[in-house]
Amino acid sequence: MKISIYHRTTYSYDETVPRLSQSLRLYPSVCTNQSVINWKINVDKGKIKYLYTDSLGHQTYSLTNKNISGSQNIIAKGEVETKDFSGVLKGHKERVNPECFVRYTDLTFPSEEMIKLCNKVNKKNDQISMSHELNLIVADAIKYKSGSTTIKTSAQKALAKRKGVCQDFAHILITLARYIGLPARYINGFLYDEHSAMSSSHAWAEIYIDHLGWVGFDPTYKKCIDENYIRICSGFDALDASTIRGTTTNYNGEENLSVKVEIAQS
């Protein structure tokens, strides 16, 4: 499937920022599951420079600005051709041992309630069967409600509220998988769904399965990933997998963020 993507991030500042340094990881993952037909990252202020490809395979760029005021737009757009491998990530080059992804973070630390969910899993099953079980358990554990959580909401809090967005579904699944000893990580990307208004930036989880490697599970939709997904960035959790990170120098004003996403089948 060929999918066209337009992703615009707009930062607005109420005062002049003396210095703004940002790191961008907005280039689609290089793997057999997806081929980049064309892709551009543009900005209306500052200069973009390619830095390196990190140990997780992210093409990383820097963006610097001095004395920036008003708003700043970062636009990533292009066309990607995708293939369905039943969720299995193929041909992705990285240098990080999967066992690194068994450790918890502040956003993915298990509560007693989450441990009880893990107890529903049949531990006698193989890893892939347990992963599918966990995916369905998480899918039924909370309800999707836009705006119900923030980027800083932990898996514990989302489960306690019984509602969240794709980020929260992914965080809960990652936490449960790690609790039973399976490496798991957070994935930032895009989802094309012709039947839903949720075609947008999206988040899901990858769980490492012996003899298969990393397998993508999406508890928001109760399935493994397929050709409708475009993978961008991975990490321990949503904060670690951020596509844009930045720091300001000598700035005490307000910063506001807005995002516009357009996804269509080419």
- What percentage of the chain has pLDDT greater than the value 70? 98
Question: Each residue of 26-45: pLDDT tens digit?
Answer: 999 999 999 999 999 999 99
pLDDT at 198 over 70: no
pLDDT of 70 reads 94
Q: Pick the range with the lowest mean pLDDT from 133-142, 155-164, 187-196, 227-236.
A: 187-196
pLDDT of 175 reads 98
CB 206 within 8 A of CB 89: yes
pLDDT at 219 over 60: yes
- 203, burial (CB in 10 Å: exposed 0-12, middle 13-18, buried 19+): buried
pLDDT at 266 over 60: yes
Closest CA to 175 of 79, 108, 77, 83: 108
pLDDT at 199 over 70: no
Confidence of residue 123 (pLDDT cuts 50, 70, 90): confident
For the chain, the residue count is 266
Confidence of residue 197 (pLDDT cuts 50, 70, 90): low
Please state the three-class secondary structure of the chain as a single string. Answer: CEEEEEEEEEEEEEEEEEEEEEEECCCCCCECCEEEEEEEEEECCCEEEEEEECCCCCEEEEEEEEEEEEEEEEEEEEEEEECCCCCECCCCCCCCCHHHHHCCCHHHCCCHHHHHHHCCCCCCCCHHHHHHHHHHHHHHHCEECCCCCCCCCCHHHHHHHCEECHHHHHHHHHHHHHHCCCCEEEEEEEECCCCCCCCEEEEEEEEEECCCEEEEEECCCCEECCCCEEEEEEECCCCCCCCEEEEEECCCCCEEEEEEEEEEEC
Question: Each residue of 71-96: pLDDT tens digit?
Answer: 999 999 999 999 999 999 999 999 99
Average pLDDT over residues 188-207: 85
pLDDT of 194 reads 82
Average pLDDT over residues 120-141: 96
Q: Which domains does the chain have, with CATH numbers?
A: 2-80+243-265 (2.60.40.2250), 84-235 (3.10.620.30)
pLDDT of 193 reads 86
pLDDT of 195 reads 76
State pTM to two decimals.
0.95
CB 173 within 8 A of CB 135: yes
Confidence of residue 54 (pLDDT cuts 50, 70, 90): very high
Average pLDDT over residues 212-234: 97
CA dist 120 → 138, 158, 176 (Å): 11, 19, 11
